[in-house]
Chain A
C-alpha cells in the first residue's frame, strides 16, 4: 500500500507553545488529507479535511484558529496546535486519500504513524 509519513511521532511541549505536525504522502499524490484525534481506547475523531490549495473544512466543535491546517502541496499537509494546553494532549493521526482517479472516487485512507502530543 501507499506510504504516509507523519512527523514527529512524539512531542512534549510546554503549555502556551505551538506544535507543528507534518504529514507527507511519499509515493502518491494526496488530493485530500484528513486529520484525526484519538483518545485512549476510543475511535478516530475527524477534526478536519484539507484539499490541496484550498482552506481546510473543520468538523463541528473544532476550533480552526487553534488547529491550523495547511495543505500547500499534493504531498504535504501540516497541523499546528497553537497555544497548546494540557487538554490538547492526545494522539493525532493524519491520513491521505487519492480522491478522484479517473471516474472513481477512491476513499481508501492511508494513515501516518500518528503523533503523541503531551502538553505539560
Chain B
C-alpha cells in the first residue's frame, strides 16, 4: 500500500541551529500537509502544499513540495525552544486518505 517515510525520527539541536525533516512517498500525492504536535498536545495543522515544486514560508519555517509530488521537506531556520515538538507530514493518496509519516521529534537545547 501507499506509504510515507519521514526522516529523521529524532533530531536534537542547539538553539539557533537549523533543522530539516523530510518526507518521501512511494506514490504521487494530491497534496501534502504538515502538522506540529507539542508534547502532551494534539496535532495542529501548519500548512498544505498542493502544486508541484511549491514552496511556502511561515516566518522561520520553509515548506517544499517536490516536482514529482512524492517528497516534501520542512526547514526551520535558527531554531528556538518554542519549536520543540513532533512534526508530522501527511499526504493525500489516490484513495483520498491521509497517509501519515511517523513524525520527527525535535528537541532544542537552550
Hey, which bits of chain A sit against chain B, CB under 8 A?
A: 1, 34, 41-44, 46, 49, 93, 95, 105, 107-114
Contacting residues, chain A, for B48 (C-beta < 8 A): 108
The one of B35, B92, B100 in contact with A46, judged by C-beta atoms closer than 8 angstroms, is B100
Q: Is B105 at the interface (CB under 8 A from chain A)?
A: yes
* Segment 31-76 of B: residues with Cβ below 8 Å from A: 31, 33, 35, 41-45, 48
A68 → B minimal CB distance (Å): 21
Footprint of A on B, CB under 8 Å? 30-31, 33, 35, 41-45, 48, 88, 90, 92, 96-98, 100-103, 105
SS class, residues of chain B in contact with chain A: strand
Quick one: closest A residue to B90, CB to CB?
Answer: A109
Q: A44 with B92: in contact, given A49-B97, A109-B33 (CB under 8 Å)? A: no
CB pairs A–B below 8 angstroms (8 shown): A42-B102, A43-B101, A105-B92, A105-B96, A107-B96, A109-B33, A109-B45, A114-B41
Report yes or no: A107 in contact with B31, Cβ–Cβ below 8 A.
yes
Provide the residues of chain B in CB contact with A43, threshold 8 Å.
Answer: 88, 100-103
Among the listed A41, A46, A49, A93, which residue makes an inter-chain contact with B43, where contact means beta carbons less than 8 Å apart? A93
**Separation in Å of the A56 CB from the closest CB of chain B?**
14
Q: Determine if A1 and B43 form an interchain contact, defined as CB atoms under 8 angstroms apart.
A: no
Contact B100 A44 (CB under 8 A): yes
CA distance A111 to B45 in the complex (A): 8
Q: Which of A49, A105, A107, A113 contacts B42 (CB 8 A)?
A: A113
Closest-by-CB residue of A relative to B6 is A43
